[in-house]
A and B are shown apart, each in its own frame.
Chain A
Amino acid sequence: MDIRHFSDNIPVLVDAKDIDGSPGPFSMSFGFDLKPLIRSIEKSGLINTPFLIRGNNGNMLPVVGFRRILALKSLQWTKIPYVDLSDAGLSVLDLILLNLNDNLTTRKFNDVEKGMILYRLIPHVTRDEILRHYMPLLSLPSHESSLDLFLKIEELDTIIKRSIADGTVSMKAIGQILDMDHESRMNVFIWLKKIKFNFNQQIQFTEYIKDISIKEEKSITHILGGEKLVKLLEDKKLNNPQKAKHVLHYLRSRRFPLLTDSEKSFRKNLSRLNLPKGVRIQHPPFFETPHYRLEILFRNGKELKEKIDYLAELDRLEMIEDPWEKDFS
């Protein structure tokens, strides 16, 4: 493919209505704001001519300059100048790469667009080449799982794609919901949007929901429609961060009943000890190691001694043990 060859082509005019309004098979644009481009064309005119190719139904398909075409249409241009690549002898892959290279130099792609690129490349390029060459080019990890994830974005509903493009939904959470049936996926997505979980919470939420669905053999829709969750979602006294916290706490206790019971028992038992202010006892993460941690906050040695003396007199302290053994009350 010789790019100089194209620049020699003299632009011609086409009726705006004859140009396809969708990105088509070569363009990779999604979730963009057209206004800056419209303003630029209004001020300075069309600086770079779009490249088009004739489609099977006679319409002209955008190869390079899809956004410019939309901007020109929005500005009511009836005739649009373009370079015709129909007889340039280019393969589909050549045309995709023409668009890719044109964009790579001027902007960053959002995750939906990265998915579009990979989706367009995959019929023409081996998976190995995509992993080795194109994934790094798109700043993606060269992993099979990552490639699979991005390929599936193209199949998602537009509403989900918009959230991916504007960066409000975590790609990890998307990875979790991709293999769900359509109804479940949309339900989970609605929850993600309504509660406005942060990214970590989104991942936790989707993981809990999936695990609970498999464990209890209930549909995701059934779980999300449960009384407790619906009440939390509709509780007007709670703001979104509070809702997020309560929802995740509820799901965690349903997913890990013994662990959350143990944590609860431990907290309850500790509260009965009447530890002095500034003294804290913590259990190890997940109770995995056998060692508990005592933390004493003090201003000086006198205060430290007082607190240690007080602790030494606390008979119940000896009863601290793993909460599943028995209550140490």
Chain B
Amino acid sequence: MIDTRINRVLVEEGATSSAMSKRILKRLHGLPVGHVSPDSTYQKPEFLDMDKETLRLISFNGEFLKPCPGTPGYICCGYQILHVGTNCPMDCTYCILQAYFNEPSLRIFVNLEERLERIGQVIDSQPEKIFRIGTGEFTDSLAHDHIVGWCHTLLPFFFDRKNVVLELKTKTNRIEGLLSSQYRDQIIVSWSLNSPYISNREEKRAPSIKRRLQAAKRCQEEGYTLGFHFDPLIEHPNWKEEYTRTLEMMDSYINPTGIIWISLGCLRYIPVLKTIIRKRHPDTHILDGEFIPGLDGKMRYFKPIRIDIYSFMAEMLKKWHKELGIYLCMESDEVWYKSLGWSPKDSKGLCQFLDGRVREVFG
């Protein structure tokens, strides 16, 4: 299990009456509950404190389903983000959400259920398009599932829509909601993986790689399609041996034929995040690499380093199994060719490749 330390709940105006709020408050019975206005700065934490001890229930007014913004100059997978909340109880050194310190606390959008019908209309209105939807962009897809019940809400909604897959992306082993659900079709459960070295040092409060893979194995045994994301790949001492350890564990626990895709993405960050990482995690070495400004303004490893890392990972993964749906996250056509030996050319090509994987797996 992950290490959650929620010690209070704040309910924003407009969020009180939702069924999800009531369910959450029932499950967290006994914790102090405060009622605040949406723009409230009520007991705002210190600068750079993410206030991961507070669960904030919010009636979200923005778009719940949004395309991944991608990044200029690089090939994007055309993912759709289902915005169910922000922040997560884990505290990974490299997390981009640290840059959004003006929105602290663990935030749950409790009007999700009320907005699902509209999301369904959007999906159903384009039956020829495959929607690859994920909830793990701004939060962990399963970290709060035992409190919120996302699996209970989302799995039955998506399972019988044939032009959509829902990917639940996690670092946790919180799979009770998945195991108790009867729905498998159109659902992908994905784990974010790294080397044990990085996991131990940089993914604070997250379960070990072994525990993640044990959870993945259990889900696979229960009939779920799996995905894996090596993102961010980080150069560190003996990184080849360390990442090989993770791949060996994958081999021990996972049947590769049940994997829809594995993404690879080297560490990249917006420049402002460097200062925040230095302040929040002064002992980290993740910024030691040779980072240069990319075409999108984000800092990324000097190209030959990225190619070296991707080539190694791809080669090792291909040795394990030929058809793993390996793809690169936010990389250039050139890096694709030099690392994987082929390229989808552009974002459209990558979408077609991944849509093809969806059709192969789910029919």
Chain A residues within 8 Å of B, Cβ to Cβ: 126-128, 144-145, 147-148, 175, 179, 210-211, 214-215, 255-259, 262, 285-290, 322, 324
Contact = CB atoms under 8 A, between A and B. Distances in A.
Contacts of A289: 73, 295, 332, 334
A214 B285 contact: yes
Nearest to A260: B290
11 contacts: A147-B47, A179-B278, A211-B287, A215-B288, A262-B302, A262-B304, A286-B303, A287-B302, A287-B303, A289-B295, A324-B304
The secondary-structure label for the interface of chain A is helix
Contacts of A258: 290, 302, 304-305
Nearest to B48: A144
B120 interface: no
A152 to B, nearest CB: 12
A218 to B, nearest CB: 13
B279 interface: yes
Contacts of A285: 293
Contacts of B41: 126, 128
B279 A215 contact: no
A211 B305 CA distance: 18
Given A214-B288, A215-B285, A288-B292, A144 B47 contact: yes
A269 to B, nearest CB: 16
Nearest to B283: A214
Interface string B266-297: 00000000010011000001011010111100
B211 interface: no
Contacts of A324: 304
Interface residues of B, number: 24
Contacts of A256: 290, 292, 302
B44 A128 contact: yes
A258 B304 CA distance: 9
Nearest to B272: A145
Nearest to B41: A128
Interface in B73-93: 73
Interface of B: 41, 44, 47-48, 73, 101-102, 275, 278-279, 285, 287-288, 290, 292-295, 302-305, 332, 334
Given A148-B47, A214-B288, A324-B304, A288 B294 contact: yes
A286 B302 contact: yes
Given A144-B102, A145-B275, A290-B334, A259 B47 contact: no
A208 to B, nearest CB: 12
A287 to B, nearest CB: 6
Contacts of B47: 127, 144-145, 147-148
A214 to B, nearest CB: 7
> Which 5 A-B residue pairings sit nearest by Cβ, starting from the closest?
A286-B292, A215-B288, A144-B47, A324-B304, A290-B334
Contacts of B48: 144
A288 B303 contact: yes
B141 to A, nearest CB: 29
Contacts of B295: 288-289
A255 B287 CA distance: 11
B40 to A, nearest CB: 11
Given A179-B279, A211-B287, A286-B302, A259 B292 contact: yes
A220 to B, nearest CB: 14
Nearest to B305: A258
Contacts of B305: 258
A144 B287 contact: no
B290 to A, nearest CB: 5
B350 to A, nearest CB: 18
Given A144-B101, A175-B275, 12 more contacts: A128-B41, A144-B102, A148-B47, A214-B287, A214-B288, A259-B290, A259-B292, A286-B302, A287-B303, A287-B304, A288-B295, A289-B334
